Each structure stands twice: as structure tokens, then as C-alpha cells.
Structure 1
């Protein structure tokens, strides 16, 4: 029984050399920690001096043994029951601490694995399961509004950072391509134009504003339209046109541009005023437009009178 007990205690003592304590010098682990060794021994490399001599910290007796076999050192230190008991308690405390840390690490690893697995499941769910078509259309519409309202380039939807932003907001959303966005813009413009023309067909009098400007060597001409509801007198304003203007901005070309927009939206006879700045080309273009329409109206009246006579 005693020999078995001694072997059990030796196993416990040997355990102290595992874990974090294995990083300590050889003379600071196992039962050797209860002995004092010379500086030459402490600084020697493992395998160079296997036969060692150490002085007991309790009785100061010199004990001989081997660095890798601590039987002599353990047997002697057991002759000091009180100190030996304290030593065993310390060894057991260290082992319990290591076991506790190991359990915590396993729990942490298990928790992290659980989080990772759940994240993978969610990612697979969001990626594989597409959004319902109505939700997809709503988000697509919001992106289209952003691109148009802020005059962003169509290439925005190809930007990696923009794609990352949308993906973080809703991974299930299927981002459309630049070509698809261009088709969406055209479709939305046609819808807006049809809606505007249906409103204007019920109006008898309108006013236009026109202006031209240049940016980065490119010229543009814009026209807006304004009218009052004939029943409620509610004022309405809409953008009518914004087009690239090529060539010189002469009065005749500006007049032709304004006339083409009026014809496109079927506003002949409804335009009472056109507001512009005091640039000579615009002033003359507006006068030219109204004079032309007045001449056409005069010709129509004359032809009608001739037919009646």
C-alpha cells in the first residue's frame, strides 16, 4: 500500500512540470523546487549533467540524484512530513488551477464554435433564400431614387464599397447590374413622362422657364413648367426637360429647342409666358417663338376667313 501511495504522490508531483510550469527552469519544477542547486548546475544544459547534487531547503542536507529521475529527492523530502504535506497541497492546487483553466478554454472554444456555426447557418439562410419580389422591388426603387436624386453615376452599383454597404444592410438583396440600372432609369422616366402628360392634358394655360449653362465644357438646357389647377388653384411645378445642348447657343437654335419640347408634350396654344434671364440670345429666342406662333395663328385665321367667304 505504501509503495502504491508513493507512486501516486510521485505522479502528482510530476504533474507540476506540465502546463504553464513547463516554461520554468528544471530546478523550479517537481520536487527539485524544494532543493538548492549550484549556479553551475542551474546554468547547465539538459543532458550535459544528469547526475546532480542539491541541498534540502529544510535540513540543508546534500542529496544526490538524477535530473530526470527524482526518486532520491522525493524520498528524502518525505522525511519532513509537515513541509512535504504543504508541498503536496501546493502541487494539487496548481493541478486544479490548470484543470479549471483548461475547462474554461474548452467552454470558450465551444461557445465560439457555437457562435460561428450559428453565423454560418444564418449566412447560408440569407444568401440562399432570396427576398420576396415585393421587398426586392422596394429596395431597388430606393436605390434608383438615390442614384437619380443625387445625380450619381450609373457605375455606383458596381462599386465594391457600395455592394458591401448594401450586403451588410440586407444580405438577401440581389444587387442589379449597371445595365439593369440604365433600363430602370429609362422605364422610370417614361412612367414619369406619361404621368406628367396626363396631368397637362387637363390644363389650358401654362408658364415655362428656360435656362442654359455649361459645366466641364458641356452645355445643357433645362425647361420647367408651372400651372394652376383650374378648380382648386393649387400651384404645380415640374421639370420638363434637361438635355445636352451641342453647338453654339444662338437664338434660333434655342428657339428651335424650346419649340421641340413644347411639341413633344403637346403644349401648343397653352404656353402664355416663358421666363428666362436677360441674355440676348434667350430674349430673342422667346420673342422669335411667340412671333412664329402668332404668324401661324394669323395664317390659320386668314385661311379660315377665305374658306368662309
Structure 2
């Protein structure tokens, strides 16, 4: 026989109303997104992974982001796990990836690479809209520092180098890497 305190007459649960529960979920979601944005703003470089899958005529896209913390521990969060409506064309895929990256203030300068499978839509999206290594100006910081004789000169050149040379580069997809598990 059960203990009398465990009987249902002593337990009073108040189930939240649907509307209240909906608000709580929305508030919790916004708080989590804000926390993720804040944490990512303090990270210098990240790597994303992208995947699309289908289930019963519904498609989804998942985008986790990975980085290494200052204490050299790995960290990851999910940026997106959302419906992908419509066809999986390369241009539509590029558009969705750019929207997700923009939502979290990530650009091709901060994302070191995006890892995907060998799907032709991913490959073509990154071939057409992705960063090409020829688009990136590599700076030899040692030569730049030696050429500068005063701290004022150094700080001025640092300011110049942090500005993107071409604002359109910020809208490019990052460097593309194919997952080694899917590559022969």
C-alpha cells in the first residue's frame, strides 16, 4: 500500500495554461539566443557544420558552431535546427546559411570553415558564393610591425587592417570543407 502523502489528494499540480507555457518557451528561447550571441561575440574564430535531412516529406537544416575556449576546451552550440521549405537548390541553401550566420553576427572573416557532406547543392553553393582564397588578403604581421617605428603608426595600421577591404566579402559563405567521413 502507498504512503498516504503520496496519494493524489495531497499532490496539487497546477498545469500552466497553453498561452502561459507558450510565452515561457518564447522567453526562454530569446534568453538562450542572447546568451549564445554574447558568447560568440567574444570568440575570435569558429567553425560551423551544416546538414540537411528529410523525414516524411519535411526537410530540416541543422547548423552547429564549434570553437576553442581560452582554456583550450572545445565548445559547441546549435545555431539552427529549423524547417527547410522548398527545393534544396544551391542558391536557396546559400540564402538560408547567410541568414543564420547574420542572425548570430558571423561572417566569412570569423568562420574559419563550414563542414558539409558532399551533396551537390552544398558543393555548388560554396563554389559560387563561397570565399575563394584569392579573395583574402594575407598580411605578414612581422613585416608590418618592423616597418612601423612608433606605437602610433602601429595602432593606425591595425585600425586599417580590421576594416574589410570589400564590404561584399562579409556576405560570402565561409571556406568550405567536405566531411572526411563522406569523402573517399
**Correspondence 1:252 to 2:91:** yes
**Correspondence 1:181 to 2:27:** no
C-alpha distance 195-242 of structure 1, shift in aligned 2 (>3 A): same
Q: Deviations over 1:181-223 (max 9, x none)?
A: 2222111111111111111110010000011111121111110
Q: 2:166 aligns with which of 271, 274, 299?
A: 299
How many residue pairs were aligned?
136
RMSD: 2.9
Q: Distance in 1 between matches of 2:87 and 2:9?
A: 48
| 2:39 corresponds to | 199
Give matches, 1:137-152, under 5 Å.
Answer: none
Q: Distance in 1 between matches of 2:9 and 2:33?
A: 32
Q: Would the aligned equivalents of 1:207 and 1:271 in 2 still touch at CA under 8 Å? A: yes
**Correspondence 1:237 to 2:104:** no
Runs of 5+ unmatched residues, structure 2: 137-163, 169-184
| 2:68 corresponds to | 228
Q: Distance in 2 between matches of 1:210 and 1:291?
A: 16
Q: Distance in 2 between matches of 1:219 and 1:170?
A: 46
C-alpha distance 250-174 of structure 1, shift in aligned 2 (>3 A): same
Runs of 5+ unmatched residues, structure 1: 1-118, 123-166, 302-309
Q: Distance in 2 between matches of 1:300 and 1:261?
A: 19
Q: Which has the higher strand share?
A: 2
TM-score, normalised to structure 2, is 0.65
SS at match of 2:114: strand
| 2:58 corresponds to | 218
Q: Distance in 1 between matches of 2:96 and 2:8?
A: 46
Q: Distance in 1 between matches of 2:167 and 2:88?
A: 31
| 1:266 corresponds to | 105
Q: Distance in 2 between matches of 1:182 and 1:198?
A: 24
Answer with 1 or 2: which has the greater Rg: 1
Q: Distance in 2 between matches of 1:170 and 1:211?
A: 49
C-alpha distance 188-282 of structure 1, shift in aligned 2 (>3 A): same
C-alpha distance 292-244 of structure 1, shift in aligned 2 (>3 A): farther
Q: Which has the higher helix share?
A: 1
